[in-house]
């Protein structure tokens, strides 16, 4: 361990120093009132990270209470490192999604890599082995060289970290919009598997029990990442914050996973917490706070990789791949022996004490003595002002008569298939190892990933979703649609939704319009989850996603996990056989507002999101599951971005075999472009053997679900006839070529 310099006098706490720590005058006065004195410099640093937006949720906490968090399968809801949902037979899945937006914009490779590492630690901290990763990514305009640089860096960071740790990245989503030019979003999801009697929580119980540091050495990377990087908007000084981005080591993470899982087999492990945001500070204060105890530390025992580190730097460092364990007294040497076996650093750095305080010594001197409750729970629940954004009065109106209806649909279809939000994401996911451990049943490229549960007949389906254009136009309905569509993706893959995690990405909460967007989105998620009986078991809030006063579109990303009791019932989106019939479950309305078609053909983001009839949505999903489980259908694909026509082409070209053509014969009084490219909700495109059509139609009538047979699979072309007239006629291989290469071609244009 590097030797530390002799402790120096702490800097004076002045109003300027307080402001530099991101604390307001009011917050500093509250600190003084709560602890009965002025904090020293190191203690000020502790308050700055623990009261930051990123750690305290001071702007969002009151709204999050609206979310439904309980259910018959929920074993652990929000409040721990991740949510836990029972899947039967003594097993549970542990999952969460969280953001690493600001670090990834400043240093894309390390920002994204450490986002993956951090979310995995949230999972195995609970005692679970990580078995799957997803990601939700948002970038700016692909024609911008900066966007291409960020895209390459983020994808490389995600792939290198996940691949090296042996955890498959099995799916996700990527959107591009100019609103993310100054602030990309990198949201990482991880799911793990655990025995229900082996779930570990972040607790520090048992007075006298030792506190053990586990993992990599502590350096100066990531200091104030939570408070000054993640809890403020970007400006001209953004690039200066590059040194605050953490540096990850996936090989150490892999060793840490195996070490922790071995330690969890011991009955003398009391509690564990990841040193994530705010590092040693948050892990120690939160573990003690959860147990009603205190902790006494000697920072001189912490393994360091840099010389001359101060107590302030050690406590606020966000160096990666580190954990804090509490074990029963007398078992310290056993724990350290396991660490040594795996080649990890470890040290007894403190003990649990009865008094609910954290006392920290360094080089023989007490540097911190703080009561736990004010630090963990003392941040103000800010009731920030809210107001409906003025822009809505302009953008929510759309007069369809102003939009010329095209005589044919070929041009629009080609343009949509070549649009970044619809075109193939294969360039991205081909860099991910999605088959490691051989449990992946459905690979990236379908509506949802499907993972086998080892040594069982079960599987889980995973999907992540958010249409941020809808949320910009109406955050309440946009958020509901995100829940509905994500659940629909799970259903199309054969799963029953059993739990949800969210990552709420918004601009500066100090602006009333942003807080209104946030409130509406949370209310939308809450209403949809209550209706569909999907509990919210974990999540993350990311605010200040704003650069030079320009906020991102509100992006309340949701990830849903579904259960397949019989893995043989999994389903994929692509057509399987020439001669099969094509059917549409659900109702198509004359809706173009907020669509990708409107953006690509008319360069508008305008109108209100598509209608969502939640009762019909539920009926459509239940009917689709009935068809999948009864082996009635060969494929099922959600109609979303690009509408029915894009869904049909995707069903033709996304399978592992040669592309199959299709012919659609439609009868409708709607505008032809709305019929084909509108994004009406609650619609699923299915295929099935021709002889089953009459029976499926009869079942649909019984279930009171709209259903129509609309075409047939086969041939080498994609043809659409509307009311007897040809509207689209294209070679299917030519469409696949347009769809397949756009993102990769752009990404390779890096200067």
Write down the mean pLDDT value for the chain: 92
Find out whether 345 and 339 touch, Cβ atoms under 8 Å: yes
Q: Which two tokens mark 190? A: 């991880």
Distance of alpha carbon 102 from alpha carbon 511, whole angstroms:
19
| Whole-number pLDDT of residue 625 | 98
* Whole-number Cα distances in Å, 252 to 116, 283, 320: 13, 19, 9
| Eight-class DSSP state of 94 | E
Distance of alpha carbon 147 from alpha carbon 145, whole angstroms:
5
Q: Considering Cα of 672, then 677, then 682, then 683, what sign does the dihedral take? A: positive
Phi-psi region of 32 (alpha: psi -120 to 50; beta: other; left: phi over 0): alpha
| Whole-number pLDDT of residue 741 | 87
* Whole-number Cα distances in Å, 590 to 587, 646, 649, 664, 679: 10, 17, 21, 18, 9
**Is the pLDDT confidence value at 234 over 70?**
no
* Whole-number Cα distances in Å, 99 to 187, 200, 210, 545, 546: 4, 23, 32, 11, 15
Per the DSSP assignment, residues forming a β-bridge with 314 are none
Q: Which two tokens mark 259? A: 């070490």
**Is the pLDDT confidence value at 3 over 50?**
no
State mean pLDDT over 596-616.
96
Residue (of 103, 96, 188, 194) closest to 150 by Cα position: 103
In which residue are the tokens 């004076």 written? Answer: 12
> What confidence tens digit (pLDDT) does each residue in 106-130 have?
899 999 999 999 999 999 999 999 9
- Angle, CA of 306, 310 and 315, to the nearest 5°: 95
**Is the pLDDT confidence value at 607 over 70?**
yes
| Whole-number pLDDT of residue 97 | 97
Domains (range + CATH), the chain = 7-65+201-379 (3.90.650.10), 77-199+430-568 (3.30.1330.10), 571-751 (3.90.650.10)
Helices (DSSP H) in 577-661: which residue ranges?
596-602, 614-629, 643-653
Share of the chain above pLDDT 90, in %: 80
Give all strands (DSSP E) within 249-315, no chain letters: 269-274, 294-298
> What confidence tens digit (pLDDT) does each residue in 363-387 have?
999 999 999 999 998 887 788 999 9
Identify the band that residue 236 occupies on the pLDDT scale cut at 50, 70 and 90: low
Distance between start and end Cα atoms, the chain: 41
| Whole-number pLDDT of residue 226 | 53
Can you state the percent helix, strand and coil of the chain, rounding each to 5? 40, 25, 35
Identify the band that residue 225 occupies on the pLDDT scale cut at 50, 70 and 90: low
| Whole-number pLDDT of residue 220 | 86
**Is the pLDDT confidence value at 536 over 80?**
yes
**Is the pLDDT confidence value at 243 over 70?**
no
- Angle, CA of 632, 634 and 638, to the nearest 5°: 105
State mean pLDDT over 649-677.
95
Q: Which two tokens mark 559? A: 């990830």
Distance of alpha carbon 483 from alpha carbon 490, whole angstroms:
11
Q: Which of 89-98, 395-404, 614-623 has the lowest mean pLDDT?
A: 395-404
| Whole-number pLDDT of residue 360 | 96
Distance of alpha carbon 108 from alpha carbon 239, whole angstroms:
12
| Whole-number pLDDT of residue 2 | 47
Residue (of 260, 248, 275) closest to 164 by Cα position: 248
Distance of alpha carbon 749 from alpha carbon 745, whole angstroms:
7
Just list the catalytic residues.
54, 100
Find out whether 301 and 212 touch, Cβ atoms under 8 Å: no
Q: Which residue has the higher pLDDT, 263 or 432?
A: 263
> What confidence tens digit (pLDDT) does each residue in 334-360 have?
999 999 999 999 999 999 999 999 999
SS3 547: strand
Find out whether 506 and 546 touch, Cβ atoms under 8 Å: no
Angle between helices 643-653 and 410-417 (to 10 degrees): 60
Q: Which of 40-44, 69-73, 208-212, 282-286 has the lowest mean pLDDT?
A: 282-286
Residue (of 210, 245, 256) closest to 105 by Cα position: 245
């Amino acid at each position: 361990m590097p030797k530390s310099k002799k402790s120096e006098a702490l800097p004076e706490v002045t109003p300027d120093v307080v402001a530099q720590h991101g604390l307001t005058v009011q917050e500093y006065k509250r600190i003084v009132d709560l602890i009965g004195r002025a904090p020293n410099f190191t203690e000020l640093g502790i308050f700055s990270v623990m009261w930051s937006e990123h750690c305290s949720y001071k702007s969002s906490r009151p709204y999050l209470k609206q979310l439904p968090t309980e259910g018959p399968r929920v074993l652990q809801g929000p409040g721990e490192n991740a949510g836990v949902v029972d899947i039967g037979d003594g097993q549970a899945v542990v999952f969460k999604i969280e953001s690493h937006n600001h670090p990834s914009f400043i240093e894309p490779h390390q920002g994204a890599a450490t986002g993956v590492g951090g979310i995995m630690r949230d999972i195995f901290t609970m005692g679970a082995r990580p078995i799957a990763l997803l990601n939700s990514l948002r970038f700016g305009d692909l024609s911008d060289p900066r966007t291409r640089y960020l895209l390459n860096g983020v994808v490389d960071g995600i792939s290198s970290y996940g691949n090296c740790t042996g955890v498959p990245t099995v799916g996700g989503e990527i959107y591009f919009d100019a609103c993310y030019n100054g602030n990309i979003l990198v949201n990482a999801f991880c799911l793990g598997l655990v025995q229900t009697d082996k779930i570990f929580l972040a607790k520090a119980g048992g007075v006298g029990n030792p506190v053990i540091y586990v993992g990599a050495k502590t350096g100066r990377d990531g200091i104030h990442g939570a408070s000054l990087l993640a809890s403020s908007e970007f400006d001209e000084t953004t690039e200066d914050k590059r040194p605050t981005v953490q540096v990850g080591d996936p090989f150490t993470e892999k060793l840490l996973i195996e070490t922790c899982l071995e330690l969890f087999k011991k009955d003398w492990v009391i509690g564990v917490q990841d040193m994530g945001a705010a590092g040693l500070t948050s892990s120690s204060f939160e573990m003690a706070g959860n147990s009603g105890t205190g902790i006494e530390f000697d920072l001189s025992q912490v393994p360091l990789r840099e010389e001359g580190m101060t107590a302030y730097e050690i406590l606020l460092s966000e160096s990666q791949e580190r954990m804090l364990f509490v074990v029963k007294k007398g078992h310290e040497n056993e724990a350290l022996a396991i660490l040594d076996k795996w080649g990890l650093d470890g040290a007894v750095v403190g003990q649990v004490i009865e008094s609910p305080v954290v006392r920290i010594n360094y080089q023989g001197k007490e540097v911190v003595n703080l009561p736990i409750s004010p630090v963990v729970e003392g941040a103000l629940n800010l009731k920030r002002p809210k107001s409906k954004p003025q822009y809505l009065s302009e953008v929510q109106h759309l007069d369809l008569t102003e939009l010329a209806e095209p005589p044919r649909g070929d041009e629009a279809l080609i343009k949509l298939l070549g649009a970044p939000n619809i075109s193939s994401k294969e360039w991205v996911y081909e860099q991910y190892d999605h088959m490691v451990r051989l449990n992946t049943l459905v690979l990236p490229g379908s509506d949802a990933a499907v993972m086998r549960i080892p040594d069982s007949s079960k599987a889980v389906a995973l999907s992540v979703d958010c249409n941020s254009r809808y949320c910009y136009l109406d955050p309440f309905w946009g958020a509901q649609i995100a829940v509905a569509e994500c659940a629909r993706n799970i259903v199309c893959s054969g799963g029953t939704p059993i739990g949800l995690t969210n990552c709420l990405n918004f601009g500066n909460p100090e602006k009333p319009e942003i807080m209104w967007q946030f409130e509406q989105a949370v209310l939308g998620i809450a209403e949809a989850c209550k209706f569909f009986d999907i509990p919210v078991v974990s999540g993350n809030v990311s605010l200040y996603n704003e650069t030079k006063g320009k906020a991102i579109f509100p992006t309340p990303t949701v990830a849903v996990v579904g259960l397949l009791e019989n893995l043989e019932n999994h389903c994929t989106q692509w057509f399987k056989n020439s001669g099969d019939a094509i059917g549409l479950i659900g109702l198509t309305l004359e809706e173009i507002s907020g669509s990708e078609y409107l953006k690509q053909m008319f360069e508008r983001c305008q109108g209100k999101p598509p209608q969502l009839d939640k009762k019909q949505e539920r009926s459509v999903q239940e009917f689709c599951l009935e068809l999948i489980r009864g082996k009635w259908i060969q494929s099922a694909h959600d109609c979303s971005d690009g509408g029915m026509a894009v869904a049909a082409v995707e069903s033709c070209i996304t399978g592992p075999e040669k592309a199959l053509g299709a012919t659609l014969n439609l009868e409708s009084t709607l505008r032809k472009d709305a019929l084909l490219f509108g994004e009406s909700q609650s619609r699923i495109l299915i295929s099935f053997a021709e002889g089953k059509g009459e029976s499926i139609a009869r079942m649909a009538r019984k279930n009171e679900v709209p259903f129509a047979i609309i075409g047939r699979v086969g041939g080498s072309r994609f043809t659409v006839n509307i009311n007897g007239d040809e509207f689209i006629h294209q070679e299917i291989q030519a469409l696949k070529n347009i769809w397949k290469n756009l993102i990769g071609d752009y990404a390779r244009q890096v200067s």
